[in-house]
Structure 1
Amino acid sequence: MGRSMTDEERSYVYWALSDAFVDTEVDYEAIARETEDYDPEEIKRILYQEVAPVCHTNLETVIPVIWSAFNLEGLNADIKNNLKARENSRIKRVKDKLLIRWLEFRYKYIWTEISKNYQR
């Protein structure tokens, strides 16, 4: 079982997971190394419930805006704003619940690749 994380560590976990949504070859082994100190189920939850809702559109555009890496501060702010909006709006919670289910289906391969690179 992994350890809990500070807000600063969570920001770096967001940043590591966001690498799966850039327009370059993804280094899943590096993402696994950067997140393996934490509970894998929590990392999976963060991936689909916090990072993917903010980052997935980068992979769904014809010409992605982000090619090599998301901006750490901007990513953190975008995720916090999205979580706050979800907390404050029942409609947003329902919409995001549906979005998250779709993201788990559409991007299942991301978690599969990350988790198979964890050192057991």
Structure 2
Amino acid sequence: MGSILTPEDKAKIQIALAEAFVDNEVDYAYIAERVKSYDLEIVEDILYSEVAPVCFGNLETPVPPIWTGFKDEWLLEEIEKELKARQKSRVRRAFDKFKILWLRYSYGYIWKEISKNLNNKI
């Protein structure tokens, strides 16, 4: 398990992790299966610093618009926009540090469920 990801691998991870933010029953075993071959510390970081900032709003609305899955192209474009905005602004980076801490706290159960399913496979 190397710590360097190709852009294709990173996209696969992001798409898999986004499944945790749909308004439907989440198949954590399926997500775990899709990310198990990557460095899990990096996967967890991608979950909270890249995917959650884009997708968490779906779980925060009374009637979430996404319940079957995010469109891959949209998801990857939105994550890229978030990362570029963070890179360009020191204020945004500071704000996002707190946002990511909040996301880790509020959605910590997601990684716990993925990890539980990873441990079942080992």
- Please confirm whether the aligned pair reaches a TM-score higher than 0.5, indicating the same fold: yes
1:11 aligned to 2:6?
A: no
Q: Residues of 2 paired with 1:9 and 1:24: CA distance?
A: 25
Q: Which amino acid aligns with 2:112?
A: T
Superposed counterparts of 1:8-47, under 5 Å: 8-47=8-47
Instruction: Report deviation, 1:108.
Output: 0.6
Instruction: Report deviation, 1:12.
Output: 1.4
Superposition TM-score, scaled by structure 2 size: 0.94
Residue 68 (structure 1) aligns with: 68
Q: Which amino acid aligns with 2:5?
A: M
- The count of residues paired between Structure 1 and Structure 2 equals 119
- Residues 26-76 of structure 1 deviation map (CA, whole Å, 9 limit, x = unaligned): 000000000000011000000000000000000000111111100101100
Runs of 4 or more off by more than 3 Å in structure 1? none
Q: Residues of 1 paired with 2:38 and 2:10: CA distance?
A: 10
Superposition TM-score, scaled by structure 1 size: 0.96
Instruction: Report deviation, 1:5.
Output: 2.4
Instruction: Report deviation, 1:112.
Output: 0.2
Q: Residues of 1 paired with 2:40 and 2:112: CA distance?
A: 12
SS across alignment from 1:117 = helix
Q: Residues of 1 paired with 2:75 and 2:8: CA distance?
A: 13
Q: Residues of 2 paired with 1:43 and 1:117: CA distance?
A: 14
Residue 116 (structure 1) aligns with: 116
Q: Residues of 1 paired with 2:89 and 2:71: CA distance?
A: 27
Q: Residues of 1 paired with 2:12 and 2:105: CA distance?
A: 25
RMSD of the alignment, in Å?
0.8
